[in-house]
Structure 1
Amino acid sequence: MEKVKVIAEIANAHQGDVNILNSLIKAAANSGADGVKFQWFKYDHLATEEYNFYKSYKDLFIEEEKWQDILSLTKQLGLEVWVDIFDQWGLELAQKFALFIHGVKIPSTIIQGEELIEGILMLERLTLLGVGGWYDHEIDAFVSGLDQKHIDRLVLIHGFQGYPTKTEDANLVRIGYLKERYKLQVGFADHEDGSKPLAIDLPIYALFAGAALIEKHITLERGKKGYDYYSALEPDEFSLMVAKLREAEKAMGSTKINDSERKYLKDSLRVVAKHDIEKGEIISLNKTVNKRCSSEKSLMPLEFKEISPSIARDKIKKDQPIISEILEYPRITIAVVCRLKSTRLPQKALLPINGLASIERCLLNCLEVLDVNQVVLATSHLPDDDPLEQYVIDGRVKVIRGEPDNVVDRLTKVARETGANILLRVTGDCPAVAPEILNLLIESHLKSGKDLTMPTSEHAPGTAGDVYTVESLYRLLQQKKPLTHTEYLPFYYINNPKLFSVNYVDLPKEFRYPQWRLTLDEQKDLELFERIYSDLDIKREPLYFSKLREHLIDKPQLTKINKHIALKWKDDKELVKEIFEATSLDK
C-alpha cells in the first residue's frame, strides 16, 4: 500500500503569534508529519463586526507579509503546505503563494460560496473536501458538477467535527463505503478528545478502514486551552501517533513480495539494459526492458521504478541485468559560471544591486533549489578573478577555479571535486535566476535520461539554466575538434544530435515571459535590477520568481527600461553563424 499521508492541522493553535506558529511547524516536522495545514482568512472578509467571534478572528490574524518566511521555513523542513481557504482574502493569498502550496481544503462552511470554490479549484492543487455529516445526494451533486481534472485531484475527508466529539460518531465504516461509491481516495479528520488515549489510536483504526490521509490537530500545550486545543495532540503525542501509523502500515503489508515468493518467482520478468549504457549515464525507464534472466539479484520492474531515477556506476551492456550494486543516486551540483572580464559592463558580477553584489544575488537564489548537494561558484584561476573568492555565502558556496576559456574543462573539474553526476549550469549574469524554474528543469532531466535539459525560448532570459549529465561533458571533452566557444555550451549539444540528446522543456505558463530581459550585460539592465530589488526591499535573501512576476506585472513600465537591448548570441547574425560553425563538431 502507499504510505498514508499525515497532515498536522495547525488551524488557530498559533494564537495569532508567528513565533508559536513557527514552533508548531518545527514540532510537526520533528513528529514525522508529511505536511502542515494552515487556515487563511481575514477577520473583515470572513465576518461582520457584530459577529460573536469577530474579535477572535482579528486576534488570530497573521499579516500577509509574514507568510513568505513562514512558508519558506515549512519547505525547508521538508513539509508539504496545505491550506484551508475561508474567504476571498485567503484565496488571493493562495494565488500569490501557489508555488509553495501542495494542497488545499474546501471547508464545509463555504460549500455554498460558488465563486470562492471556483477560485480554489482553479489553483489546480490536490483538494480535500470535508464531507462529514453530508448526505450521499449532497456529495453526488458536488462531485457531478466537477470537471474530470478536478475529480482526479479530489480527496474526500470523512470526520465529524462537533465538540465534544463522541467516539461513536467517528463512524469509520463510512471510509470504505465512500471509497467504493466514489472511486476516490478518502481521508479521516479526527476530532476525538485529545486527552483520551483513543485520540492517538483512532487514526490507526481509520488507516485499517482504508483512509489514505490523516488530518490531526497539533498544539504545543493542550492544558493552556488555547484556540483549537480540544482535539489536538501535543508534540510527543503526535510523534507517537505517527510512529503507530507507520507500524500499522507494516502490519497491513505492501505490494512487495518476500524472499520466499521471489525464489518461487525466479522466472519472473526482470529489468535489463535495453542497449549499452555508459558509466555516469541516467538510467531512465526507456533505457531498460523487462526480460527473464538467470540473475535473481536483477531488480523486478516495481523495485526498479521505486529507486528511479538512478545513475550507472559502471558501463552496462545490452541485456545486462540491472542490479542495485551498479546503481547510484543522482548527486546534483549547481555551477554558477562567472568571470570578471566583461567589456560592456566592467566587473558586472561585483556591481551592487540594493546593497549586494550581483553574483551574490544569483548565488542566494541558487541555494534555494531543492535536492541539490552543492552550489559552486566556478571561475578561472587568473588573478583578475580573485575578487570572486569572497562569495562563499557563509560557507554554503564552494569556489572552484579552473581554465579561463574552456568552460567544459572548468565544469568537469567542478564535478570531480563535488562528486556530482548531474550538473546544473547557471551563468553569473543572472541575479534573478528563478529557483522554481531550476527545480522543474532538474526534475525533468532526471525523468528524461537525456544528456542536456533546457527550457524552450518561451521564458525570460536570465531566469533559467541548463542541466547536464556529467558523463556527457566528459564525452564532449574527448572530441577531436577544439572547443573554442564553450561559453555557448548548449549549442555543442543542439548542433550535434548524433552525439548528444537534448530534452526541451515547455515551462508552465506562469514562467513564460520571454518579453522580459532579466540578464545583466549593460547599464540599463543594472538599472532594472536595482529598481526591482529596491522596490521589493529584498535584502540578503533570495528572490522567488512568483514575487518577481507579481511585481513586474503590477509595474509593467519597469521592463521597458532595458527592452531595447538585443541578446547578442541570438540577434547578432555574424556571431550566430560563428557559434554554429564552431559548435558543429562534424564540420
Structure 2
Amino acid sequence: MYNILELANVHGGDKEHLLSLINEFSEFEGNFGMKFQPFKYDEIATKDFEWYPVYEELFFTLDEWKEVFIEAKKTKDIWIDVFDIYSVEVIKDNLSDIYGLKFQTSVLDNRKLFTALSKLDLSRLKVVVNVAGHRIEDIRNYAERIKNELKPQELIVQVGFQGYPTKLEDSGLNKIKIIKDKLNYRISFTEHLDPNDEESIRLPVVAVLFGADIIEKHIRHSSLETKYDFQSSIKIDMYRKYIELLKENNNLETFLNEKEKTLLLPSIPFVNENEKEYLYKSKQKPLAGHNLEAGQLLSLQDDLSFKRSPATGITIDKIEELVRSFCILDKNKQENEGFEERDFRKAKIATIIACRMKSTRLPKKAILPIGDISSIELCIKHTLQFENVDEVILATSTEDEDAILEKYTYSDEVIFHKGHPDDVIERYLGVAEKRGIDVVVRVTGDMQYISNDIAQILLKSHFETGADYTNAREAAIGANLEIMNVRAMRKIKKYFPSADYSEYMSYYFWNNPDYFKLNFVDLPKDLIRGYRLTLDYPEDLEMFKKIEEYFQQTGEEYSIKELFNYLDNNPEVAKINANCTLKYKTDPELIKTLKEKTTIKR
C-alpha cells in the first residue's frame, strides 16, 4: 500500500511554511510520497483569469524548488503535479530526484506539455493520470497515448476529483473495480471531502479495501495559517488516525457503514454531473500561443498554448478536426485569444506541375510517348489520383516553344497556365494568386510515377505541423513530392525578387531553416526504394516504357507499391537507368552555386 501526501498550494507561496510542513510530516517514511505543484503564473493562466494574482503569489523559482526537494526526499518519494512548461523545467532540473508525475484531468489535452515531456527520459518514473469526467473509452485512449508518448515505468489511473469539498456520493469509488477489470491498470484514489467529516479518513480506507493501490491525501500544517487549498486538507493528527484505520482494517464487509455501502451500488453513474461540471470548468483551454495571421496554417504543437482563461472557444479536439480537414486560419488571432469554428476555412490546395520543352539531354521529353500517351500526360494522369487536392495545374512559360504543351493536358480538369520562363516561383505565384491557392503540391513534368499514398502522408503532416515546406526524408528519385505554402513562396520573393535558380526551388527552403518551418517526414518502408523514377536520359525513357508495358499487359492499376513490386521482381529493368546521375547532387560547381544563390544573406 502506497500513500501520496498532497501539499498542493497550502504553503501560500511561503517557502518556510512549506519546509515546516515537510518536516512536520517527516515521521511517515517508507511507502510514502509527497506531491508538489510547481507552475508559473503566466504559463498556467492568462492575466485576466480570476486566480492569476494568486498564481503569482504561489510562484517558486527553480532554486527554491530544488531546496524544497532536498528536504522532502529525506523521508519521501517526490511527485510532481504537471501543469505547464515551467513544471517541465522543474522536472528536467530535478529529474534524478523525482519518483513520479501526476496529470490532472484538466491537462490531458495539453499537446504542448506532452511534447515537451516526451523529450525527457521518463522510463524510471511512475505516472498517475487522473481521469475525472471521462468515459471508460476515453480513459483507455488517454492512457495508451500517454504511455506511447512518455514511456514511463508504469501508468496508474486515478479516480476522484476536486469539488472543494466533494460530496460523498460523488467520490467515484464505483470506478475502481470497473477500470481494473476493463483496463487492467493499478488505481490511485483521491478524495476531497470536508476535513471535519469523519468520512475524509474513512473513505480512503474503503477505497483500499475495494481495490485501490495508492491513496492521495491532501494535508496542511497543524499550526500555521493555511490560506489556500484548506477545504479538503487534514492536519497531522487526522492523518495519523487515517494511517491507523488503514492498518487496522482489512475486511470490506465489516468496515463499511450504511452510508458507504450506497457508494458501491451499480446504479451509480460512471461519470456524475458534478464531475462533468468540474472537468468543464477546470480544463485548460487551447489559445493562440502568439499572434497569428489569417491565411496561415496552425501548428498543433507550436502555435497553441493551453491555459486557464475566461476566454471562450472550441475545444482542442475540434481544432484538431479542422486542421486535419485541411483548414487554415481565416482571421488574425491575438496571443491568448480563443478559437471559434468560424475562424477557420478550408485551404485551397493545388498540384502545380512545372514543365517546359527546353530539355537538352532528352530533347522534347515532355511530349515523348510512354505507352499510349506522352510523358507529361502520364505525369498528369497519376497526379489526378491525388485526394484532397482541389486543382491540377500545368504551369509552363510564355515562350513560343512551350505553347504546344496546351495540347497535352490529358484532361479537361487540368488548368493550363503560362508564366515566367525562368523564375519558377514567379510562375507558381502568378497562377496561385489568380486561383486563390493557399497550399501547393509541387510536381515537375519529369516525375511520371508520383504517388497518392505519399501525397496524403505529406499533406497530413504538413497541416498538422503547420509547416511552410514538407518533404519526405527518403524516397525514390522522382517520387518525392514537396508541399509548400503560397505565403512561404511570397516570402522567398521578398528576399529574392528575381529567383533565378528557382528551377531548383527546394534549395530556397533547405538553405534557410531559420526563415522557414521545414518538415521532413519519414515514409513507411513499403513506400521507399532506391530506384530512379525521373525522366532525364534515354535510359529513363527505356525503363519507363517497360514499366508501362507491364501495367498495360497485366491490367494492374497503377500504384507506387505495385510499381515497386514489379521492379523488385525484375531487377534487370531497374538496372537500365541505375547509372544515371542527378546533376544537382553530383556537380560540385552547381552545388556551390546553389548554396550561394539560394541562401538568404543576413
What secondary structure sits across from 2:577 in the alignment? Answer: coil
C-alpha distance after superposition, 1:72-108 (max 9, x if no partner): xxxxxxxxxxxxxxxxxxxxxxxxxxxxxxxxxxxxx
What secondary structure sits across from 1:281 in the alignment? Answer: coil
Q: In the alignment, is the contact (CA less than 8 A) between 1:354 and 1:539 conserved in 2?
A: no
Match of 1:422 among 423, 439, 463: 439
**Within 5 A, what are the aligned runs for 1:7-406?**
183=183, 269-286=284-301, 287-296=303-312, 298-309=313-324, 310-406=327-423
The alpha-carbon distance between structure 1 residues 563 and 271, as it changes in their structure 2 partners (threshold 3 A), is same
Partner of 1:522: 537
What secondary structure sits across from 1:478 in the alignment? Answer: helix
Q: In the alignment, is the contact (CA less than 8 A) between 1:463 and 1:518 conserved in 2?
A: yes
What secondary structure sits across from 1:537 in the alignment? Answer: helix
Displacement of 1:349 = 0.8
The alpha-carbon distance between structure 1 residues 441 and 502, as it changes in their structure 2 partners (threshold 3 A), is same
Partner of 1:160: none
- Structure 1: which amino acid aligns with 2:501? H
C-alpha distance after superposition, 1:373-406 (max 9, x if no partner): 1111111122211111123333121112211111
Residue 587 (structure 2) pairs with residue 572 (structure 1)? yes
Q: In the alignment, is the contact (CA less than 8 A) between 2:311 and 2:337 conserved in 1?
A: no
Cα distance in 2 between the residues matched to 1:431 and 1:469: 23
- Structure 1: which amino acid aligns with 2:321? E
- Structure 1: which amino acid aligns with 2:583? K
The alpha-carbon distance between structure 1 residues 558 and 305, as it changes in their structure 2 partners (threshold 3 A), is same
Partner of 2:564: 549
What secondary structure sits across from 1:375 in the alignment? Answer: strand
Cα distance in 2 between the residues matched to 1:378 and 1:481: 20
What secondary structure sits across from 1:561 in the alignment? Answer: helix
Cα distance in 1 between the residues matched to 2:417 and 2:359: 20
Bigger mean CA offset, 470-479 vs 310-319: 310-319
Displacement of 1:506 = 1.4
- Structure 2: which amino acid aligns with 1:306? E
Displacement of 1:503 = 0.4
Displacement of 1:547 = 1.2
Q: In the alignment, is the contact (CA less than 8 A) between 1:278 and 1:314 conserved in 2?
A: yes
The alpha-carbon distance between structure 1 residues 339 and 538, as it changes in their structure 2 partners (threshold 3 A), is farther
Q: Percent identity?
A: 31
The alpha-carbon distance between structure 1 residues 379 and 448, as it changes in their structure 2 partners (threshold 3 A), is same
- Structure 1: which amino acid aligns with 2:579? H
Displacement of 1:294 = 4.5
Q: In the alignment, is the contact (CA less than 8 A) between 2:423 and 2:498 conserved in 1?
A: no
Partner of 1:479: 495
What secondary structure sits across from 1:423 in the alignment? Answer: strand
What secondary structure sits across from 2:287 in the alignment? Answer: strand
What secondary structure sits across from 2:470 in the alignment? Answer: strand
Partner of 1:138: none
Q: How much is the aligned-residue C-alpha RMSD, in angstroms? A: 3.0
Displacement of 1:572 = 0.7
Structure index of larger Rg: 2
What secondary structure sits across from 1:585 in the alignment? Answer: coil
- Structure 1: which amino acid aligns with 2:595? F
What is the TM-score normalised by the length of structure 1?
0.53
Cα distance in 2 between the residues matched to 1:304 and 1:263: 22
The alpha-carbon distance between structure 1 residues 511 and 326, as it changes in their structure 2 partners (threshold 3 A), is same
Partner of 1:537: 552
Displacement of 1:534 = 1.2
| Structure 1 stretches lacking a partner, 5+ long | 1-147, 149-176, 185-254
C-alpha distance after superposition, 1:248-283 (max 9, x if no partner): xxxxxxx9x9xxx99996786432211232332111
Partner of 2:35: none
Partner of 1:36: none
Bigger mean CA offset, 415-424 vs 437-446: 415-424
Partner of 2:483: 467
Cα distance in 1 between the residues matched to 2:277 and 2:509: 43
Q: In the alignment, is the contact (CA less than 8 A) between 1:278 and 1:312 conserved in 2?
A: yes
Residue 452 (structure 2) pairs with residue 439 (structure 1)? no
Displacement of 1:574 = 0.7
Displacement of 1:407 = 1.2
Partner of 2:528: 512
Q: In the alignment, is the contact (CA less than 8 A) between 2:462 and 2:470 conserved in 1?
A: yes
Displacement of 1:340 = 0.9
The alpha-carbon distance between structure 1 residues 565 and 319, as it changes in their structure 2 partners (threshold 3 A), is same
What secondary structure sits across from 1:344 in the alignment? Answer: coil
Q: In the alignment, is the contact (CA less than 8 A) between 1:366 and 1:375 conserved in 2?
A: yes
C-alpha distance after superposition, 1:318-367 (max 9, x if no partner): 22332223211232111111111111111111000012100111111111
C-alpha distance after superposition, 1:128-159 (max 9, x if no partner): xxxxxxxxxxxxxxxxxxxx9xxxxxxxxxxx
Q: In the alignment, is the contact (CA less than 8 A) between 1:429 and 1:521 conserved in 2?
A: yes
What is the TM-score normalised by the length of structure 2?
0.52
- Structure 2: which amino acid aligns with 1:322? F
Cα distance in 2 between the residues matched to 1:526 and 1:178: 64
Match of 1:497 among 513, 538, 555: 513
Cα distance in 2 between the residues matched to 1:489 and 1:537: 34
C-alpha distance after superposition, 1:477-509 (max 9, x if no partner): 111563111011111111111111110111111
C-alpha distance after superposition, 1:50-81 (max 9, x if no partner): xxxxxxxxxxxxxxxxxxxxxxxxxxxxxxxx
Cα distance in 2 between the residues matched to 1:381 and 1:542: 35
C-alpha distance after superposition, 1:218-243 (max 9, x if no partner): xxxxxxxxxxxxxxxxxxxxxxxxxx
The alpha-carbon distance between structure 1 residues 466 and 539, as it changes in their structure 2 partners (threshold 3 A), is farther
Cα distance in 1 between the residues matched to 2:279 and 2:583: 64
The alpha-carbon distance between structure 1 residues 574 and 551, as it changes in their structure 2 partners (threshold 3 A), is same
The alpha-carbon distance between structure 1 residues 511 and 494, as it changes in their structure 2 partners (threshold 3 A), is same
C-alpha distance after superposition, 1:404-447 (max 9, x if no partner): 11111121223223332111101110111222212211111111
- Structure 1: which amino acid aligns with 2:488? S
Cα distance in 2 between the residues matched to 1:546 and 1:485: 33
Displacement of 1:284 = 2.0
- Structure 2: which amino acid aligns with 1:489? M
Displacement of 1:521 = 0.5
Cα distance in 1 between the residues matched to 2:565 and 2:279: 59
Cα distance in 2 between the residues matched to 1:306 and 1:497: 28
Displacement of 1:314 = 3.2
Q: In the alignment, is the contact (CA less than 8 A) between 2:551 and 2:558 conserved in 1?
A: no
Q: In the alignment, is the contact (CA less than 8 A) between 1:344 and 1:521 conserved in 2?
A: yes
What secondary structure sits across from 1:431 in the alignment? Answer: coil
Q: In the alignment, is the contact (CA less than 8 A) between 2:367 and 2:408 conserved in 1?
A: no
The alpha-carbon distance between structure 1 residues 520 and 269, as it changes in their structure 2 partners (threshold 3 A), is same
What secondary structure sits across from 1:283 in the alignment? Answer: coil
C-alpha distance after superposition, 1:168-207 (max 9, x if no partner): xxxxxxxxx99996659xxxxxxxxxxxxxxxxxxxxxxx
Cα distance in 2 between the residues matched to 1:453 and 1:499: 14
Partner of 2:138: none
| Structure 2 stretches lacking a partner, 5+ long | 1-147, 149-176, 185-270
